[in-house]
A and B are shown apart, each in its own frame.
Chain A
Amino acid sequence: MRSLMINHIQNARQSLRSNRLRSYLTMLGVTIGVASVTVILSLSGGASQVVSSQVDALGGNIAVIRPEAAQKNTVPNLTQITSQRDFSASTLTEHDLKLIKAIQHVDQAAPLMVLGGAIKGEKLAPANSTIVATTPELATISKLVVADGQFLSDDINQNTVVIGDQLSINVFGTDRSLGRALTIRGQPFTIVGILKRLNNPINYNAVDFDNSVIINYESGKQLGQITPQIQQIDVRSDSVNNLGQAIIDINKVLSTSHNGENDFTVLSGSQIAQPTSQLFFAMAGVTTAIAAISLLVGGIGIMNIMLVSVAERTREIGIRKALGANNQDIMSQFMIESMAIGLGGGITGYLVGYLISYGICSFLPFEPVITWQIAATAAFISVVMGTVFGIYPALRAAHKDPIESLREYS
C-alpha cells in the first residue's frame, strides 16, 4: 500500500497548508524544544572536543582522579553558578596523594582544591573568580606557563600567589601586578607570578585559570579551616605507554587504602574530556529546562491541534469511511499529519539550534560540532513527539462511527 502512504502524505500536506498559521504555531513548540536540544548537544560536543584536544596536547600521559561525589555533582545545577563548588566531603585524602606519588610509573601528581571566598586587590574580584590550592607540580602536568614572575614553589613563602591574567586585570586594572599584595578570605598574599593567558575556560581541571588565583596547597588548607577537600588529583605518568599500568596501580592502591570502597574514579584520555566548566553547566541547565518544557508544551500543542482537526473533520471522516476507508486508513491519515508537524518543527528547530549555537560560540573559545548523531537525535525527538502526541487524536478519529460522523454539520 505504498500509494496509500503517498496519498496520506499528500493529504497531510494539503491539510496543513490549508491551516498554515495554525500549523506553524503548533510547530513552534517542537521547534524551540529541538533547537534547545541541538544547542546543548552541539555545544557540549564542541566543548568536549576542545577538552579532548587539550588532553591530546598534554601528551596523552595524563590521568585524573576524582572522588565519586564530585562525579555526581557534575549534574548541571544552577545553584552552583554563584556559590563555588564546595564538595561536601571529598573521598580523596592527602594520604591518597602520597600513595599515588609512590607508584612506580607516576611521574608527578598534583592535588586540586577549589575554594570559595573573596579575593581583594584594589578592587574586589568578580564572583566567577576561583581560588585554587595546589602543589607546584600542577604547572608541569597542566602545562601552565607564567608570563611574568614564577610559579609556586615549595621553597618560597607560603603566602604567595600566582594570578590569572584576566583576574589581575579585574582587580588591579593591569596584568602587571607582580609583587603586589592581595587578600584572599582576608589573608594577605603576595603575587609571585602572572599566568600567561590561556583563553581556555573549559578544561579538564574545571578551572578557568585566567580568572583564578593559585595558592599553595598548605595555604589552602589553612584558609579552608576544615579537613582539606581535594576535588581532583592530576597525575602524569612517566611515559604514554605506562599510563595504563599507572592507572591500574592507582586503582589498586586507592582501593586498598579506601578499604575496598569504590568511592573514586580514575579517568584518562577522552574520559576526562567531559565538559565540567560551570559556564557550560549553567548553559546546559537552562537549555535542558527549556528543552524539556517546550517539548512538553509543544507535544500538548500537537495533541490539541490534532483534536481540533479531528473534530473539524468529523464529517470528512464519515465520508471517507463511507467511501471505503478503514480504521487504519483514517488513523494513518491523522498520524502522518501530526508526524509532519513534529518533523517540520524538528527540522526548523535543528536549523535554529545551530544558528543559536554559532551565535553563542562567537563569545566562546570553541565551535559547535556538527555530527549525524545530533541530526538523528533531532529527527528522532520530532518523530516521537508527533507519534506520541498524535496517537490519541488519531485513534479518536479512527474509531468514529461513520453514520454519526456523517450527521455532523461542519
Chain B
Amino acid sequence: MRLSDSGRHIIIYIKTMPDTQTPVIELRSLKKRFGIGDAEHYALDGVDLRIERGEFVAVMGPSGCGKTTLLNIIGLLDRSTDGDYKLDGIEVSTISAHRQARIRSHQIGFIFQSFNLISRLNVIENVALPLTYKGITRTKRLIAASKILRTFHLEEREYYMPHQLSGGQTQRVAIARALVNEPSIILADEPTGNLDSRSSHVIMEELSDLHRRGNTIIMVTHNPRLTSYASRVITMLDGRIDSDTNTLIDEIKAPISEAAAPAHSPKKHKKTKGHHSKSRYRIHIGRRKK
C-alpha cells in the first residue's frame, strides 16, 4: 500500500513539470504465466511499477526472477497474462497490433540479452534495420548506421558478418542497432554483460547521455557498480519487485541511511556504500525538487 501511496506522491510532484504528466510506463499487478496445469509457473507474479519520463531505472535480481520477461512485456513483444499495463497513459491491450509495431519502431529501442543480430546481414545492415520500418531510404539508413557505429568504435567492422565479431563487438552492434532510431524508451537487457569495464563505461556513458537528453532507460544488469548511472534501482525476486529506491526515499524522506537497504541483498549493501550512490540520490532528489 505504501508503494502506491508513494507513487501518488511522486505524481503530484511531477505534474508540476510540463513534460511528464502521465508516467511513461505504469504496471499494475502485472502477471505472466508460463505453462499450464502442473507446469504452470508465474514468471511475473504481480508487478506494480510506475516509471516516469526521463528516468534511468536499473533492474537487478537473481537469474530467472523475471527481468527479461518484464522487459519483453514493457517492450510490447509479449503480452501479460493478467494485470494492467499503461504506456503513455494508454492501456496496451487496447492498442492494435499495427499501432504496437509503430510504437516499437518509433519509440522503443530494444537491446536483447542474446543480441539477436540477423546472421545473414552484415553489421551495418543490422544496425540500419530499425530505420527500414520507419520508411527511411537506404542511403540515409546507412549514413545513420555508420554514424552510430562510429560512436561505439565499430567503424572498421561495418562490413563484417555477425559471426565474425567477438562477443563484445556483437553486443556493441546490438546496442548501436537499438539506439539508431533514436528511441525515447530504451530497454536494455544486460547491455554490458560481455564487456570489459572500459567498454562497459563507453556504453554506460552513451546511455547516460541519452538519459540526460530526457530519454527513459530501463536496464537490466547484474553488475552493481553500473547502477550508479541509474536514477533508480529496482530489485526483483521471484516475479515481484523486491525493493525500489524510490520507495526507500519515500520511507526515509531524508538522505538515505544504510539501514534502509534491504538486509537480504548483500550486493546492494556493498553498493550503497560506494561513492556512486550518493550522486545517485542527489540526482534523484534534485529532480524531485524541480
Q: Which A residues have a C-beta under 8 Å from some C-beta of B?
A: 1, 3-4, 6-7, 10, 14-15, 18, 315-316, 318-329, 402-403, 406
Contacts and interface: CB of A to CB of B under 8 A. Distances in A.
B101 to A, nearest CB: 3
8 contacts: A1-B135, A3-B138, A7-B132, A319-B116, A322-B77, A322-B110, A403-B72, A403-B78
Nearest to B117: A319
Contacts of B78: 402-403
B133 A327 contact: no
Contacts of B163: none
A234 to B, nearest CB: 66
B105 A323 contact: yes
B129 A320 contact: yes
A1 B108 CA distance: 21
A324 B134 contact: yes
Contacts of B98: 326-328
Contact of A15 (B77, B108, B120, B133): B120
Nearest to A319: B116
A3 B142 CA distance: 13
Nearest to B128: A7
Contact of B97 (A10, A324, A326): A326
A403 B43 CA distance: 15
Given A4-B132, A6-B138, A323 B110 contact: yes
Given A3-B136, A316-B118, A324-B106, A406 B77 contact: yes
Given A15-B120, A319-B118, A406-B77, A326 B135 contact: no
A27 B130 CA distance: 31
A136 to B, nearest CB: 77
Contacts of A321: 77, 101, 104
B59 to A, nearest CB: 18
Contacts of B9: none
Given A319-B117, A323-B110, A403-B77, 7 more contacts: A3-B135, A7-B132, A321-B104, A324-B105, A326-B102, A326-B105, A403-B72
Contacts of A318: 116
Nearest to B101: A326
Contacts of B116: 315, 318-319, 322, 406
B111 to A, nearest CB: 11
Contact of A324 (B102, B112, B121, B138): B102
Contacts of B72: 403
Nearest to B109: A323
B137 interface: yes
B70 to A, nearest CB: 13
A320 B110 CA distance: 11
B161 to A, nearest CB: 11
A323 B120 contact: no
B78 to A, nearest CB: 4
A371 B221 CA distance: 67
